Structure 1
Amino acid sequence: MSGSASHERHRQEMTFDAILTEQAGPLTRRLARMVGDRETAEDLRQETLARAWRRGPRDASPPVVRAWLHRTATNLALDELRRRKRREHVPLRETLAAAGGHDGQRDPLLADALASLTAHQRLVLLLRFEAGLSLREVGALLDLGEDAARKRVARARAAFLEAYRQAGDDDPRPTILLLLGREDPAPYEAWLRASGARVRTVAGGQAGLDLAGADGLVLGGSETDVHPSLYGEPVGPHVGATDLTRHLRDLAALRHALRSGLPVLGVCSGTQLLNVLHGGTLHQDLPAAGWDALDHRDEHPIATADDTLARRLIGGRPGVVSEHHQAVKRLGRGVRVTSVAPDGLVESLEVPDHPFALGVQWHPERCSGDVGRRMADALVAASAA
């Protein structure tokens, strides 16, 4: 068999997941050329991969799959360009009706708070949080520079938060937005409320106006694995069920919160997403990767690093409770490891240049003693500042 024939046979035998991984780079470059914005291109690439995972032609030949991916990406880019032309005419009533909360139920306080603002403030918030425009795009639509757009968004959000609090009977507690999938919200909500938070839980769809009305963000743990396509790897044999829709939502909310200076706490898979967002990768299965010296499902000690938020909050060697089979592998850019387990596995991450951006591989809502309480107290205090 000739070399070219052997190569073609290899390409024909590629798995569907391998093709998705292979095409991540080409799709991003194609989308960036079309929309002129690397950040938007990455978001559209993730949406392309999510659609492929949900309804792509899994049994088709590699050339057909590649063509499907690029056609889907092109259509998404064209939709994005068309939206940019008409975003100055945001349908307020439709957007208010779409503002959803836990299990998709509309929060009347959010709608009332938004309706009490000026038309310009509503427009700015809807463009930024519901339409998902970057500050640069908001500025371009309003004929402003990016810094001016940032100030307009900040002022509109401050007015929205004040109106939201007044609609809630002047409740002085900071609002923590809790993002979950199919997990039971009760343990998280009780843990946060015990430290003085008002909790708003979102279990489906985009965060949208819920994020605009939040003082802090918690990415809860996930029953599903983070899909390897999100960090550019093929799916291994030990990956369990995944939920791309949920994790794409969480990544978008996390990205916005970090850029806005919103206090952030990632729990378990939330820590993994914090690393993925910064370009890091994950161990798809700890036992398969050789990490079997310590059972991380039981309470175990960790060692925190000097001069870190983790050390200030929970001391040098606290005991924590975990339940996971995935964890940080290659560290992302711009994040710091701030604690490790006795076997060397990463147990927490921080974003050093952010006031409060912490990811913990364990579950603080389940920890005994005062470890969980200290973390919740610190998050609520940062959210109230």
Structure 2
Amino acid sequence: MLSAEENDYLCRVGPGTPMGALLRRYWLPICLSSDVAEPDGPPRKFRLVGEDFVVFRDSAGTVGVLDEKCMHRGASLAIGRVEDCGIRCLYHGWKFGADGTIQETPNLPDSRFRNRLRAPAHPVHEAGQIVWVYLGPADKQPPPPSYVWMNVPPGHLATTKAVQKGNFIQGVEGEIDSSHVGLLHQTEIALARTGEYDPEGIGRDRFPTTDDAPLLEVEDTKFGFHYAAIRKLGGEQEGQSYVRVTPFIMPFQALIPPMNLGFLYVPIDDTHTCTYVVTGDPAKPIDKADWLKWRSLEDVQAPDYVLHPAQDREAMVAGTSFSGVAGLIPQDALVTDSMDLIVDRSKEHLVAADIAVVRMRRLLIDAARAVEAGSDPVGLDGSVDWAKFTAGSGVVPQGVAWQTLVPTNVAD
């Protein structure tokens, strides 16, 4: 359990906070590319780590991310016009390029003023159907993001997002908590074994166990850590274990086996989270509509993407649904929504199955303290190849190291 002071340190992400400073050292998703799909289309306002930004795609297709308020008098650029390779403030017509260049100041014809200033614009990178932005110090900017799920042919990637109540740490904790899988998701796990339901690729290894108290082993890595959930097998598989290896990639991503399903819990502010869900399937193209349907996310779409699932109590009584909610992602959201906006972790009673959650909290707190002290956080020393890190699952004979399932996740 954390003290109240440590919990506050962990969960506060706004400007001037230690955790906010840590998060700003990494590339952060701010929206989907489809949210600003059309050149010269409407600008969009997005909130990220407690700050407001305007995102737009200019006439040439370049995406710009600027502070939302016009640097002149503070009007919102989100109500502005995107035209002629820039965004124009409606109030006095000031026009800015995607790089922050002040292109026009109609109420001040003298160009010397605008030539010596620049609007607050932030580095942008598009990859994995996501618009990424870097908000940290310019001299600390890391290489653009590259993850295993990005390395698939065109048409083999599906990405969406869902906005949820609650601090981002609560979402991350759910993804690295393997012991809840056979409990909260038991209806879907049972169907996956029969092939009737399989949006996460569970059926590829059939989740061949009913052991709901896995042994967890955690190993630090250059990207954060990975952990193995080791479950007992019986019968003809006596002496073997079913193992699921889940990486936690700094600062808020988990890769879920067996398909390297990417979950990124991106803090909108202290009490709201935008969850990006990504599947890259090297084996076959992905139909986005079908992908959303199987995950019960077909209604969680633009422009708001709000996910707030409701329980079907009749299905729970009838025994057709353990949780009363369809889909693994909505089930996780149901639990997260049921918590306080920021959980009081000083009241917890942790068990051995929570070891990965404990490691994640400590890793983030230590990394934030390192940034406060002037050091670089985990993964940003220039030696990390993010694209090679993977999740893994399978049956492992007794005495064989679980790391054989993820041979490219080399630990120091």
Q: Same fold (TM over 0.5)?
A: no
TM, length-normalised to structure 1: 0.25
TM, length-normalised to structure 2: 0.24
Of structures 1 and 2, the one with the larger relative CO (CA 8 A, separation 6+) is 2
**Larger % of strand: which?**
2
